[in-house]
Structure formats: C-alpha cells, structure tokens
Amino acid sequence: MKALLAAIMIAGCLLTGAAPPAQARDLIVSASERGAYRSVQAAIDALPADGGVVRIAPGTWREKLTISGPGVTLIGTGKRPDATILVYGDSAKSAGGTFNSATVTASGDDLRIANLTIQNDWWLVPGNPPSQAVALSLTGDRAVVTRVRLLGHQDTLFANKGKNGRMARHYFSNCYIEGHVDFIFGNAKAYFRECRIHGLAHGDVWYTAQSRASAEEDSGYVFDRCTLTADPAARNVSLGRPWRDYASVVFLRTRMDAQVMPEGWREWYPGTSNRLPTTRYAEYRSFGRGANPAARAAPARQLTREEAAGWSLRRFFDGDIGWIDAGLKQLRRG
C-alpha cells in the first residue's frame, strides 16, 4: 500500500509540475523536464536525512552549493563530464576568506560525485583581483569522486580533515584537476588514481600544498598512475610546497609531461621558512620530461619497490576500501 501511494504521489507531481517528494530517492534537476527540480541545491535540500541520488541534466548551473548531510550522490546525466557544469565565482576577497569561497562545500560523509564539472570562475572575470577561489571543498569522510572535472586557478581543490580534526578519507579516479597556485591543498587522507593534473599559465605553479601538521598525523596525498601536464607558459612548475611542516605527498608511476623544475619541490617561503626538512615527499618510477630523480630537493626520496608497495591503495587506507568499491559500483551504474 505504501509503495502504491508513493507511486500515485510521484505521478501527481509529474502532472502538476511540482517537485517529487523526498521519498523518491533519485531526484532530477532539469531546466525543462516537468516535475524536476530547477536548482541543484533545492534537490539536495529535499533529500531524506540519510541522503540519496541527485541526477543533474546537462547545462550550466550557476549556484553555490552546500552538502552537509551524509550519503549524497551527485551524477551528471550528460554523455561527458563537461556537459553538466556546476559553477560559481566567489573568492577569498569576495566571500570573506578562502574557506567561504567554494562553489561546492561538502562536509557530509559518504559523498559520491560522477560525470560532471565543478568550477570556480572568479579568475575568468575581467577586473577581479587575484585571490584564492575554491571549486570543491571536501571535508567529509569516505568521499568517492570519479570522472569529474575540477576547474579553478588558485586553491581549486580543498581536500581536508573534517570538524574537530577528524580525519577524512577521499578517493579520486579518472578526474581532471586544473589550477596554478597550491591548487590541491589541505590535510585529508586522499588517493588520486589515473587523474590528469594540469598547471595553468602563471609565474609560479604548485600542484600541491599538503598540510600535515605533525609526524603522528595519518594524512597525506598519493597520486597513483596520474599524469602531470602544464600550459607552455607556466613557469616555476613544482610538485608542491609544504603548507605545514610535515606535508606528505607521494607520486607513484606518474607521467610527468609538465616542465617540472629539476628540484621538484619548493620551500613554502624560500629564504624565510624551513619546512622541507620535515616533509614526507617521495616518488616511485616517475617518467616523462619532468621526471628528474637525481636532482630532487632533499629530503625528497625515490622509493624502492618494497617501499612503494606500502603506498598502495589498500595499504594507504589500512585495508578498509569497501567504501571505495561500493561507491564506484554505484557510480558505474549511473
């Protein structure tokens, strides 16, 4: 009887043009489809307390989104990730700080995103001053992001711990992430597999600014079989700089097609700060024009095969990867 009533209610909504009730777990966002939500945030807000799926039609959705509840899944329904674009244009200067600038701010656990683009276009507006401008701020645990484009300039992706210092685990696969200054930053435990990381034309490009603050913290970024590229006009291209003293970044089997400077890593403030000595920076079998193991800045290391095995996906997450498998399985179904 409950199922019949729910079906009648949904059918009624489709006839009247009203949004479907929250009990319908897959909510549709479309500018033209009858019965669909007309904004992404409205659909997110209509989900049950334990989350659900929001399917977003192709188009450009200019919204600033907040996802605070658990179990939310966002899926673009176009043929490619560039068909569905979530975009906004705030910055640290306009929004009162870097952490208020994100186009999408997601603090809920078990977030899943696939087949869409998240963009911060602050830098593309003539007359806007240079500023931090986040596309995706991700602080919930067990996030799975696949086939997603993250577009920005300075501070594109904030992959960080959750509230009260709770560690957050993130998994990215087959994504495209672009920017220039510190554009993948924060202190999450994040694994990037087969992603393309692209540096935009700028006087200084830092792919990462990881912020592990102590040797005891179980955090860091791992890039596995990724590809690093950069615009020809990009200058001083480096793998990263330490936002905090114990920054941890490891590149495994990474194709470095970008013009990475020979030393690879840079000090936070050259000549002023002294953070490199306590960092955990390492590579294993990097290749391409930007790979230069003999010239890397100390104490960055080239890992042995046995050491690299310690940074595999399963080892990195201490054997707990069921949440990744479940997330990818759902997102592959579409």
Strand partners, 158: 137, 185
Instruction: Enumerate the β-bridge partners of residue 245.
Output: none
Catalytic residue positions, numbered: 155, 182
Task: Tell me if 191 sits within 8 A of 171, measured CB to CB.
Answer: yes
For the chain, what is the HEC assignment? CHHHHHHHHHHHHHHHCCCCCCCCCEEEECCCCCCCECCHHHHHHHCCCCCEEEEECCEEEECCEEECCCCEEEEECCCCHHHEEEEECCCHHHHCCHHHCCCEEECCCCCEEEEEEEEECHHHCCCCCCCCCCCEEECCCCEEEEEEEEECCCCCEEECCCHHHCCCEEEEECCEEEECCCCEEECCEEEEECCEEEECCCCCEECEEECCCCCCCCCEEEEECCEEEECCCCCCEECECCCCCCCEEEEECCEECCCECCCCECCCCCCCCCCHHHCEEEEECCECCCCCHHHCCCCCEECCHHHHHCCCHHHHCCCCCHHHHHHHHHHHHC
CB atoms under 10 Å from CB of 33, counted, come to: 13
HSE-CB of 301 using CA atoms within 13 angstroms? 12
Q: Is the dihedral of CA 130, 107, 329, 171 positive or negative?
A: positive
